[in-house]
Amino acid sequence: MTDMATAASGQAGRLRQQAVDQLLQDGFITCTDVEKAMRTVPREQFAPGAELEEVYAPYDAVITKTDEYGVAVSSVSAPQIQAMMLEQAQLQPGHRVLEIGSGGYNAALISEIVGDAGEVTTVDIDAEVTDRARRFLAGAGYPQVRVVCADADDGVPQYGLYDRIIVTAGAWDIPPGWADNLAEGGRLVVPLRIRNLTRSIAFTKAAGHLAGSDPQVCGFVPMQGSGEHAETLVLVNGTEEIGLRFDDETPADPRLLDNAVRTARVEVWTGVTVAPQELIGTLQLYLATTLPGFCTMAVDPDLDTGLVAPNNPRFSLAAVEGGNFAYLVTRRTPENDVEYGVHAFGPEGEVFAAAVAEHVQAWGREQRGGPGPHIDAYPADTPDGQLPSRHVITKRYSRITFSWPEPDTAQSQDHPIRGQGE
C-alpha cells in the first residue's frame, strides 16, 4: 500500500470511529452488534469518488446515481438511518435476511451481524446498481452476500423464507410477496409512505397480518418498478404558485379549490406550543392519519405572490375540505417557544380553520409525548369490521390502520397544552 493510500485508509478509519461515536452519543446506536458492524465495514469502499468527510457524515446520505433530471435514484443512506433500521430489525446471528434496495454497504453491515451462520440476499431493479454492489461487496470482503437483479415486488422467493426483510427504498405499499417471503414471527422493516410522510416501521408477521411498531422519521429514494407510485399534484387557483400534494386519497373535485384563495385568509392560533428542540413526529403522523383531506403544500418561490404565507414554502402540513384548504403555521412566543396556528381559505374558511386547530389541540392534550400509534397492515380486501381502528389508509395491496393510545382522562384534564418533549 502506498503512503498516500495508507494515509487515506487511516483517515477513513478515524472518521468511521468518530461517526459511530456520534451516533452512540445521540442515541441512534444502542445495540452492540450494530455498533461493531458500523465500526468494521469500510463505508468508503461503497462510495468511491466521494470525499471521506461526506462518506462519514453521520446524518447525510451519499448520492450514487441520478436520473436525466438530476433526481437521485440510488444512494448510500445516511449512517444514522442505517443504524436506526438495523436496530429496528433486531438482527441475530444465523438470521436469513433479504434486503430490498441495494448498494452493498448496508448488506455488508447485515452480513457482519448475522455472521457465517446467517445468509444475506440483496436485490435491486437496476442492473447498474447490482453490478456495482457485487463488485464493492467482493472488494470489501463480503463475497458471500447474494446479489440479485430483479423487480422485488414479489420479493425473492427462491431463497426464502427470511427471518428479516429490510427495505431501503421508499415504499408506498406493502405487496403480498413481502409478507409471503417472511417467516412467521419474522420482521419486516420498511420506510412506508403515509400521506406524504415517510416512516420506517418495524412489522412482525403474525396471525394473517403485519403488526407494526416504532415508526421513525426518515426519507428514502422512491421505489421503482411495480412498486412505483406517483403522488397527485393539485394546483390551487389553476397556477403553479401553490401546489397541494396528495399521496393517497385525492379530492373528489379539485376544481372547487380554484377560487379559494380569492377569499380572505383566516388565521387561528391553537395555544399549542412546543420547545424549539421538541420532536413533533407524532404531531405530523397524528394529523396525517386523523385529519380528513390531509396533504402537504409547497409554494414555487419564483411564482410566489404572497397569497399564502407558510413558514416553510417547500413543505407545509395542509388539508382540504370541499372548496376550502388550510395549512399550519408557527410563530415564536415571548418564552421563545413555537406556537402552532392555522391559515385557511374558502367559503367556510373560519369553520375549517377551527376544525384543523382542534386536531392540533387534540394532539397536544392526548398524544403529545406518547409512543405514537400502533400500526397494522392487513390485506386490501379486509372488511372494516375486522380492522382494529377507524383510522385506515387503503392502498393497492393493503389496508394500514393506526391505533392511537386512548388518552388518560385524569391526565387529559390536568395536562397543560405546553408539556414535556417526546
* Residue 307 falls inside a structural domain: yes
Among 156, 189, 224, the domain boundary falls at 224
Q: CA angle at residue 189 from 420 to 92, to 5 degrees?
A: 100
Give the helix/strand (H/E) hosting 125.
none
- Contact present, 215 and 372 (Cβ < 8 Å): yes
**Domain limits for position 170:** 63-224
How many folded domains does the chain comprise? Answer: 3
Q: Do 403 and 266 share a structural domain?
A: no
Whether residue 7 is predicted with pLDDT greater than 70 in this model: the reply is no
What's the pLDDT at 254? Answer: 87
**Where is pLDDT greater, at 65 or 107?**
107
Indicate whether 82 belongs to any domain.
yes
From 177, 203, 224, the end of a domain falls on: 224
| Mean pLDDT of all residues in 235-244 | 84
For residue 188, whether the previous peptide bond is cis, meaning omega lies within 30 degrees of 0, is no
Give the residue from 196, 224, 252 where a domain finishes. Answer: 224
pLDDT class for 57, splitting at 50, 70, 90? Answer: very high
Per-residue pLDDT, 1: 44
Indicate which residue of 74, 77, 111, 316 is catalytic: 77
Q: Is the model's pLDDT at 411 over the cut of 90?
A: no
Q: Mean pLDDT across the stretch 89-118? A: 97
Q: What is the pLDDT of residue 413?
A: 34
Q: What is the pTM of this model?
A: 0.90
Instruction: Identify whether 77 is part of a domain.
Output: yes
Distance, C-alpha 188 to centroid of its chain: 14
Report pLDDT digits (tens) over 37-50. Answer: 999 999 999 998 88
Residues 255 and 386 in one domain: no
Whether residues 196 and 138 fall in one domain: yes
Task: Note whether 175 and 286 are same-domain residues.
Answer: no
Average confidence score pLDDT of the chain: 90
pLDDT over threshold 80, residue 417 = no
Sign of CA dihedral 305, 310, 311, 314: negative
pLDDT of 202: 97
Same domain, 360 and 382: no
Assess whether 162 and 105 both reside in one domain. yes
CA distance 286 to 406: 13
Determine the Cα angle at 318 with ends 317 and 323, to 5°. Answer: 175
* pLDDT at residue 198, rounded to an integer: 94
Nearest Cα to Cα of residue 304 among 295, 296, 313, 312: 313
Are 293 and 319 in a shared domain?
A: yes
Does residue 382 share a domain with residue 345? Answer: no
Please give the pLDDT value at position 421.
Answer: 29
Q: Find the mean pLDDT for residues 232-239.
A: 83
pLDDT of residue 221: 83
Is residue 389 part of the annotated active site? The answer reads no
